[in-house]
Amino acid sequence: MTAARLFIVPTPLGNLEDITLKAIRILGEVQLILAEDTRVTHKLLQHYQIRTPVKAFHAFNEHHAVDYFVNQIAAGTNIALVSDAGTPGISDPGFLLVRACREKGIVTECLPGPTAFVPALVASGLPCDKFFFEGFLPHKKGRQTRLKRIAELEHTVILYESPHRLVKCLEQLAEYCGPERMACVARELTKIHEEVRTDTLAGLLAYYGSQAKVRGEIVLVMAGK
């Protein structure tokens, strides 16, 4: 009998078709699924008629829940970790659990699958041979330092951003990197209103700055220096 393991299972960004056959099988075979938001995960499981029990594992209980779940795996329970969308660990909880499993010698398997930044980067038309994943910029403390750093990078830079902060972020990037720097806003990927718009920072600012309200989930990709 093989020892129990931790499976990291990527889930769709918005379109339920974007899940692998292996992900469906693993979610059905494990004894427990850890989910960021159990309501979101239940919808996915219902769609695929998966009846595995689900428990919450999110940024607020992650620190003290890690030891408990690592001990459960060590005792023989196969566990899958999912987030609301995309790959756990990428701007989502996961890292602490994976590190703790590795330290205990527990095999951790991360399935390949959806993550927002890869389709955004590749569809942007900006160089995708070398890139730097910044994720979310800090809102206040440390923001200027990060902006200065990414402005100097020669690789394509990838940011996650919320819709109500997009215009402010574009303004700051234009200020630090110059308004002629090329960038791309990839919005609502895989969903009905998907939009991938590549232009200068000034052009993107003119477009999104003139909208009453920007909606949806956003990946911002910016060309290197």
Residue 60: CB atoms within 10 Å: 10
Residue whose C-alpha is closest to residue 88's, from 58, 60, 61: 58
Give which of 120, 204, 123 is closest to 168, Cα–Cα. Answer: 204
Interaction between residue 131 and ligand SAM (CB under 6 A)? no
Minimum distance between the CB of residue 1 and ligand SAM, rounded to whole angstroms?
32
Query: What is d(CA 208, CA 136) in angstroms, rounded to the nearest whole number?
Result: 19
222 binds ligand SAM (CB under 6 A): no
Taking alpha carbons only, the member of 58, 54, 61 closest to residue 27 is 54
Minimum CB separation of residue 124 from ligand SAM in Å reads 12
Nearest to 80 by CA among 46, 47, 55: 55
CB of 83 to ligand SAM, least distance (A): 5
- The residue among 182 and 185 lying less far from ligand SAM, judged by its C-beta, is 185
Residues 6-25 close enough to bind ligand SAM by CB under 6 A: 13-14
Q: Using CB positions, name the residue nearest to ligand SAM.
A: 86
The neighbouring-strand residues paired with 33 are 54, 80
Mask: binding to ligand SAM, 181-210, rule CB under 6 A, as x and -?
-----xxxxxx-------------------
Which spans of this chain sit near ligand SAM (rule: CB under 6 A)?
Answer: 13-14, 83, 85-87, 90-92, 115-117, 160-162, 186-191, 217-219
